[in-house]
């Protein structure tokens, strides 16, 4: 999660900036918007203000804002400064260090990484002046994203389209992420397990894997090598993550123990079945074979317990899905298992936890005062807080 200052300049693609603000906010970022006066010919300041939840800034000489020299406050506030769309004019100003409006003044004053998404007519883009400006910006460390190629609003076809908004969000997130997990190898488990009853039926649970996948994505973004052992879920593999797909608890155990030695951090968010069917049948159980059916279940291996037995210096984090006495049960599990942290969540609530996009957790350490409550947030933000806490524990 970053503080993103989004600059919008006066190209036709400025109308897409509203959707970009929405995507960034939805991804958990705090967004403030600075628009050039020309940008406001194309997009409504009210819409940008409402979507970002902060006043839209456009004027440099504002009587209401500049009593605090707020353009410098804004520049200092930003963790990432992104300009989308960036006009040919704006690229020229940025490349030459001009500062004749609020956006370009903030651009000179900020120390945040700069992400630039150009959008213009193909001939403006191909013009040697624009190409030289882009080259200068790239040499100075600006991260250029796009433009895309295709049919342009002006009727021409070629390079100049604002790239997909998802690509801009990705570039902003890469620019804003710290490298604080570089050198760490994070082993994660995620999702449910599926224990066979017969060749077509399984015993499983409602875990969607979202929490574990959010952790994998955040850890990779923060520079870690990530091995993600995933039960059967419909989640795309995050960029840069090594994924091992498994079905049963035993397969999950083998995959986890197989990667444990190289891991420095192990986080187990999977909802592993406690029991599996003792003798799954080789052929499909027939409905007519009897009036009732009894399945004999046997206990599955305790993966976390085995990890603790074999660990050599890894920081180990378990998850506790509870329906009552959240903190007491989490602390009891932490003591019983001997892990460093337990992330506890209340799965009796339908708005958080299993199979939804938000979560609210308590990150419980060994001492009673070591409880970090993370109020209801996107799983992505919760993932960042869990990793922050893991790093604190590793650094003592």
Ligand X SMILES: Cc1cc2nc3c(=O)[nH]c(=O)nc-3n(C[C@H](O)[C@H](O)[C@H](O)COP(=O)(O)O)c2cc1C
Count of residues making up the chain: 396
Q: How far apart are CA 250 and CA 275, in angstroms?
A: 11
Element (H, E) at 254: helix 249-260
Q: By CB under 6 A, which span of 81-89, 261-269, 322-330, 346-354 interacts with ligand X?
A: 81-89
The neighbour count for residue 232, using CB atoms within 10 Å, is: 16
Q: Does 9 bind ligand X (CB under 6 A)?
A: yes
Which residue, 84 or 263, has its beta carbon nearer to ligand X? 84
Residues from 334 through 353 that contact ligand X (CB under 6 A): none
Q: Does 134 bind ligand X (CB under 6 A)?
A: no
Which residue, 14 or 383, has its beta carbon nearer to ligand X? 14
Q: Does 90 bind ligand X (CB under 6 A)?
A: yes
Which of 178, 46, 56, 156 lies closest to 112, judged by CA?
Answer: 178
Say if residues 342 and 319 touch (Cβ distance below 8 Å).
Answer: yes
Binding ligand X by CB under 6 A: which of 1, 4, 11, 379? 11
Under DSSP, is residue 37 helix (H, G, I), strand (E, B) or coil?
A: coil
Q: Does 318 bind ligand X (CB under 6 A)?
A: no
Q: Does 7 bind ligand X (CB under 6 A)?
A: no
Q: How far apart are CA 261 and CA 311, in angstroms?
A: 8
Is residue 159 reached through a cis peptide bond, with omega within 30 degrees of 0 on the bond before it?
Answer: no
Least distance to ligand X from the beta carbon of 44, Å?
Answer: 15
Q: By CB under 6 A, which span of 87-95, 176-184, 231-239, 357-365 interacts with ligand X?
A: 87-95
Q: Does 12 bind ligand X (CB under 6 A)?
A: yes
Which residue, 10 or 209, has its beta carbon nearer to ligand X? 10
The neighbour count for residue 50, using CB atoms within 10 Å, is: 13
> Which positions are catalytic?
154
Q: How far apart are CA 290 and CA 323, in angstroms?
A: 35
Strand 114-118 to 143-144 pairing: parallel
Which residue, 24 or 91, has its beta carbon nearer to ligand X? 91
Binding ligand X by CB under 6 A: which of 3, 22, 38, 394? 38
Report the alpha-carbon angle 32-36-37, nearest 5.
125
Q: Does 39 bind ligand X (CB under 6 A)?
A: yes
Report the alpha-carbon angle 373-384-352, nearest 5.
55
Which residue, 36 or 269, has its beta carbon nearer to ligand X? 36
Residues from 111 through 130 that contact ligand X (CB under 6 A): 119-120, 124
Q: Does 18 bind ligand X (CB under 6 A)?
A: no
Q: Which residues bind ligand X (CB under 6 A)?
A: 9-13, 36, 38-39, 87-90, 119-120, 124
């Amino acid at each position: 999660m970053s503080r993103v200052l989004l600059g919008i300049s006066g190209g036709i693609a400025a109308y897409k900036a509203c959707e970009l603000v929405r995507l960034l906010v939805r991804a958990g970022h705090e967004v403030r918007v600075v628009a050039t006066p020309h940008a406001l010919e194309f997009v409504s300041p009210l819409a940008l203000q409402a979507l970002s939840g902060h006043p839209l800034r456009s004027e440099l000489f504002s009587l209401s804002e500049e009593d605090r020299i707020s353009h410098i406050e804004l520049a200092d506030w930003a963790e990432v400064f992104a300009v989308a769309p960036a006009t040919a004019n704006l690229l020229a100003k940025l490349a030459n260090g001009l500062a004749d409006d609020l956006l370009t003044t903030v651009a000179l004053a900020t120390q945040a990484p700069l992400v630039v998404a150009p959008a213009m007519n193909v001939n403006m883009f191909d013009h040697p002046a624009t190409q030289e400006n882009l080259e200068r910006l790239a040499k100075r460390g600006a991260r250029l994203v796009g433009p895309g190629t295709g049919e342009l609003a002006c009727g021409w076809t070629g390079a100049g389209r604002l790239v997909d908004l998802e690509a801009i969000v990705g570039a902003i997130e890469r620019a804003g992420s710290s490298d604080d997990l570089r050198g760490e190898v994070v082993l994660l488990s995620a999702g449910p397990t599926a224990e066979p009853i017969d060749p077509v039926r399984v015993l499983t649970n409602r875990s969607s894997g979202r929490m574990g996948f959010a952790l994998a994505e955040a850890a990779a973004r923060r520079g870690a090598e990530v091995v993600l052992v995933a039960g059967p879920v419909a989640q795309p593999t995050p960029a840069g993550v090594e994924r091992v797909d498994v079905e049963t608890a035993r397969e999950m155990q083998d995959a986890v123990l197989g990667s444990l030695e190289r891991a420095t951090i192990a986080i187990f968010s999977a909802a592993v079945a406690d029991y599996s069917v003792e003798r799954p049948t080789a052929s499909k159980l027939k409905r007519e074979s009897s009036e009732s059916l009894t399945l004999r279940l046997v206990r599955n291996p305790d993966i976390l317990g085995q990890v603790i037995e074999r660990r050599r210096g890894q920081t180990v984090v378990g998850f506790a899905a509870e329906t009552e006495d959240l903190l007491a049960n989490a602390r009891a599990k932490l003591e019983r298992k001997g892990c460093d942290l337990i992330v506890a969540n209340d799965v009796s609530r339908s708005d958080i936890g299993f199979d939804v996009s938000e979560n609210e957790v308590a990150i419980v350490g060994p001492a009673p005062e070591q409880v970090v409550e993370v109020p209801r947030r996107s799983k992505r933000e919760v993932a960042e807080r869990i990793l922050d806490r893991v790093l604190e524990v590793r650094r003592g």
